[in-house]
Structure 1
């Protein structure tokens, strides 16, 4: 006798080539955050063709589509839409270097496959509850000037897709959240559950000096590039004070290094992240980093403006929900091939969702090369597309059967860390501008 899970997995196998082709097509045609117009159209068209209603143009390119009834548990499936700038990848776009070197293209195909299998099987009628696919734009925290313009135009409220969608109430009717993500560089049939991610604060540091002729009269100028160099060196001097267990990472780039070689640099701009495992450790490290950058301005007699924007919250997964997923993954690839409880120094806006809803994001193999690197590629399509679909759809069955008994137990045992309003007020709107020598917060 074929079980519900067995029938659903058979449908996934039947649709295998179709789903892989969709994923590979998106992989070859990447788009940066809040610009995923082609990708969004592919999702909308596919979902409508299988008979589902779709709400589109949420947070510019986001989508939302539900299957099932409005009674009972609502499980959200997350598909991130955007690529990341990656120079030298074989599919990098010529205009901005975008490439799917974080495999969000795979997420999209996986979640579309799950929705089609559920629709074809008519299983939601017997399971009850609802499954909602939410396509979230702009997970990669990049392309800041474009996003600032979108905010000024009133098209978005916040810098990331999930943050903006949270603020607009897109997740208000959701009870549990399931996401997945490439493990990167692991071509074998491996997976991970319960992995944590760092949170971070995004920083823009602008040094102001005084222009003068570089050859004839440098003594009349104040070199903003020298200030930046000293500031970065001072940041490096702080690294030994960061506790290992806090997983602190501080890294940045110089976006603007001066106006011309023949003039003492009058303005220099640095963009940086301060990452950490907990909010407390992030704030502690951030105060040290501010002090170091201010020192650069003080040393040369220049000025420094430090703008902080809330990045992503640290991600701690819902253990009980992960256990359900892990049991199904074990049936597919074996328990010995599942890593449990790894700690990653990377960050993602999935951490923001986890602050307000029970959330998981499991990792899967099938790739070769570095995440965000030019050598990143898919090498095992079964593991990179099909196995995650089966694990997710089997987990949905476990959660929704018996009138959602297991899901309700998980929800009751895992109350939200923050209300949506607290999250928006205390995290998203927590911005500051600090000016040195005079310190001012706004």
Structure 2
């Protein structure tokens, strides 16, 4: 079933035309103000250009990056009659690989650009490896600047063959990868089909984004819901809300949170972790009333059949296939901070709605994203490094392997002194999962 909202990320090497592609999508979907469009058209005419330079729609952000004001993921919001989009535009420079991790961590699809003149380059392989590690479900290879190679079908076919070999080695199935030849500057196959590529029979980029059957995050995974707030409506406004919701004033305990994965219904058997108490769901509701079922991404209140203590930070999970609970984590980190990570560091770990202290054990290996293989154990992890580490937490945590459930298999490492995020973490070794499957 098509969703009303698609979250996707863009990635690509420097000068592959990512700014132009993003600008083209905004321009062709009329997702920018009329005065902005007029300003771009005037500036393009002043430069002697026959077509609007749509990259000017995002050049302000790019200038900020080049000046060092901010180096971050830029989120763009646009829509068509068929679907709304949240686009995470990530920097292309190799030294900002960490930003690709940030932008792709919640993406349901990624658009990876290559310059048709250069084909698959080292940064393409690096980005594809990161996207595979993050388990992004679908990829689009946008072969850009096809006008600069005179729409050469044979050259484009060679790029497709090389990229397909790469994605297969990273665990992507062929039906999860779409290749689209485009010219973002001219507009070929972005929002409208190009007469210059009669040999291409696939969709335009916008058609694909509008129609791709992408499910929400972890919708098919087992049910998980971190408890964010415990509702006890015994008096005051909460009691009046309870009266309206239940038809009679009574004391009850509800557990509010966002469904991280799977689906939950009344009657489902669940376990409250880390304590391990089992019970059943008696009701699932929102402020608008009871629900037959709640799916991943929906914020709800869950009522349990038994009076069980499930404070903020606890997790309510499907009893069948519940996550493991422990204090020892085998994890993969993308290190985001300027200060290197060394063994013995004492940090904070945020998982779901729980934050606990953590000690970094051994650094087991560093990932070479060019070859998608591990090197020997490093002495430290530098900024942008991805590595295998051992962690020990002060409190037991219910976690899933990231390869099984993205949401509950991910965590953050935080500086206890400043509160700054230091690393994005994945439970387990996603690379092993790729090799195995």
Q: What TM-score, normalized by structure 1, do the two folds share? A: 0.25
Which one has more relative contact order, counting CA pairs under 8 Å at least 6 apart? 1
Higher strand share: 2
Q: TM-score, normalised by structure 2?
A: 0.25
